[in-house]
Amino acid sequence: MVNITCIVIVVVIAFVMTIIVTVVIVSVIVIIYIYYIHIAFTTTTIIITAAVVVFFWQFKVYSIHQITLWLWLKFPVGPGSVDDLRMFACLASADLALSHCATALESQGTEGIASFTVAVPTKNFDTLGLLLELTETRAPTVLGMEEGAIQEFNKVYTASGIRPFDVLLALDGTQNWETMQKKMTSKLPDKMFLTFNRPRKIQVVVEETHDIGDMGMTLAYTDKSVGVVIQELNDSGRMAKWNTKRKNHGHDAIEVMDRIIEFDGEAYCGTDLAKLLEEKKIWRLTVLKYAQGEIPVLEGLSRGGFC
């Protein structure tokens, strides 16, 4: 969990800095108006000053996030400080993706789309605007969208829009990541075809047993990744035993490329979540489960993807 003291300190520093900057700007305005322009502190001056104050206070949340990152990188002052600040910074950056993901997955239900292809108009755009996480290079995962073709596509075709945690499978029929990356960074054509794998959200409870050995899986993660990606499953260990029971009863099993995003209902970054999985005896997990096996590319094009 995030150390509350660290958060309070960061918030206080951010607000103090915002106040200082505001006071300095207001003082400069007053000096310019009174001593250089030689006019009184009129209603116009008050309006301009108020506008400046409002403008700078709009950045207070941004300031909190930036100060958090700055403290994390520059001043690790105690045994728990780096972990706490890393956690806060990671969750701040991932919060939007997680909230959008939760809404999208809940609205589509457990029998949602497994994979789909959209035709995105890219004429007159410099970029697709996809923000991808590459914790596992076999599964480039959408974390969000910035200004670009995808953002505009989502505004027009809301029903077939691209969502956080969709995994990019292919671009114009190409499934090689290096080739896809080159296509995305080159001059865009008039239209591009993107194939995605959309997850289902499931809850997993792995009870404590005494003869299980290790976790039974290899994880891919970073300090700032949203949760962990299951990179490899072993034939023994806790997850292997749990999977066997699930399969015997005809239920979902955890598979390679699935992503664990929550532990006990709390979102964690990769390093922190991996540590919990190693240390805790009982796992209560939220998992994004992706379709497995050969997925058709450029088949079943979304009708909303055509213009």
Query: What is the secondary structure of 142-162 as a DSSP string?
Result: EEEE-SSHHHHHHHH-GGG--
Predicted pLDDT of residue 234: 87
204: which 2 tokens? 């997993």
Model pLDDT, residue 179: 92
Tens digits of residue pLDDT in 115-149: 889 999 999 999 999 999 988 888 899 988 899 99
Q: Over 191-256, what HEC string results?
A: EEEEEEECCEEEEEEECCCCCCCCCCEEEECCCCCECEEEEEECCCCHHHHHHHHHHHCCCCCCCC
**Residue written as tokens 């200082």?**
20
pLDDT mean over 207-233: 83
**Span 274-295, mean pLDDT?**
86
pLDDT of residue 184: 92
Greater pLDDT, 70 or 273:
273
Mean pLDDT of 6-18: 68
Length of the chain: 307
pLDDT at 289: 92
Q: CA angle, corner 172, sides to 160 and 298, nearest 5?
A: 60
Q: At what angle do helices 60-74 and 81-108 cross, to 10 degrees?
A: 130
In 3D, which of 149, 154, 175, 156 has the Cα closest to residue 164? 154
- Count Cα atoms within 13 angstroms, Cβ side, for 151: 13
Q: In terms of pLDDT, which residue wins out, 95 or 54?
A: 54
- What mean pLDDT comes out for the span 262-273? 91
Rounded mean pLDDT, 95-111: 44
Q: Which of the two residues, 12 and 109, has the higher pLDDT score?
A: 12
Quote the pLDDT of residue 6.
57
Q: Domains of the chain, with CATH numbers?
A: 4-94 (no CATH), 113-199+294-305 (2.30.42.10), 201-289 (2.30.42.10)
Q: What pLDDT, on a 0 to 100 scale, did the predictor assign at position 279?
A: 87
Percent above pLDDT 90 for the chain: 31
pLDDT digits (tens, 9 = 90+) for 68-92: 444 444 444 333 334 444 444 454 4
Residue 291 pLDDT:
85
- Give pLDDT, residue 39: 54
What is the distance between the alpha carbons of residues 43 and 39, in angstroms, rounded to a whole number? 11
Q: Taking a C-beta distance cutoff of 8 angstroms, is the pair 125, 148 a contact?
A: yes
